[in-house]
Amino acid sequence: MLQESVTTRAAFDDFVRARWNRAVRVAYGFTLSAAAAEDLTQEAFARLWPRWRRLADEDPVGYLHQTIANLYLSSRRRPDLLSRLRQRPHQHHSDPADRVVQHDELLQALKQLSPQQRVVLVLRYMEDMSTEQVAGLLGCSVGTVKTHASRGALAMRKLLA
């Protein structure tokens, strides 16, 4: 029993190390804050751990993304949760000036989208998920995902024009 527990913990630790940066990047796409993204990611992994034995053989990545998305969307409905997250601007010290300006414009445009549109765009285009995968992850219809993606992309084009 002890050996199984150690093996389970080691597998989870390996999963966290392998997925941490990408999970933070997804969360950052939602929150637009490095600190909040790290907090959401940490909370998502903490929620994954008790379910690890069951999910390790299924789809832990899908569960992780779903948890991050749900935590972000609930934080938008419960401002007290989001307000507890540290708000620091994401910094790129090594980026050329033009890339920083483009990055800032993109972030400003993303901030103006609804939380649902932002979540869908990040999952579709940063994580390269299909509409069916995003719908399954968010527990909504494919049509809803397409609507949020279409409206979000249209808004982004207008904002970045």
Residues 39 and 72 in one domain: yes
* Total structural domains within the chain: 2
What CA–CA distances, in Å, run from 4 to 24, 49, 100?
Answer: 29, 15, 48
Q: Which helix (H) or strand (E) holds 139?
A: none
**Residue range 34-63, pLDDT digits in tens:** 989 999 999 999 999 989 988 888 889 999
The pLDDT assigned to 127 comes to 83
Give me the pLDDT at residue 102, please.
Answer: 72
Last residue of a domain, one of 56, 74, 91: 91
CATH for 142: 1.10.10.10
My answer on whether 85 and 38 are in the same domain is: yes
Q: Can you give the pTM of this predicted structure?
A: 0.61
Residues whose CB falls within 8 Å of the CB of residue 89, separated by 6 or more in sequence, listed in order: 33, 34
**For residue 104, is pLDDT > 90?**
no
Alpha carbons 31 and 71: distance in angstroms, whole number = 11
93 falls in which pLDDT band (50, 70, 90)? very low
Can you tell me the distance from the alpha carbon of 110 to that of 99, in angstroms, rounded to the nearest whole number?
16
* Domain with 103 in it: 92-161
DSSP H stretches of helix in the chain: 2-31, 34-48, 52-55, 60-77, 79-83, 97-111, 115-121, 131-138, 142-160
Higher pLDDT, 87 or 74: 74
DSSP state of 57: T
Same-domain check for residues 14 and 84: yes
- Pair (98, 135) in one structural domain: yes
Same domain, 9 and 57: yes
Distance CA 125, CA 132 (A): 14
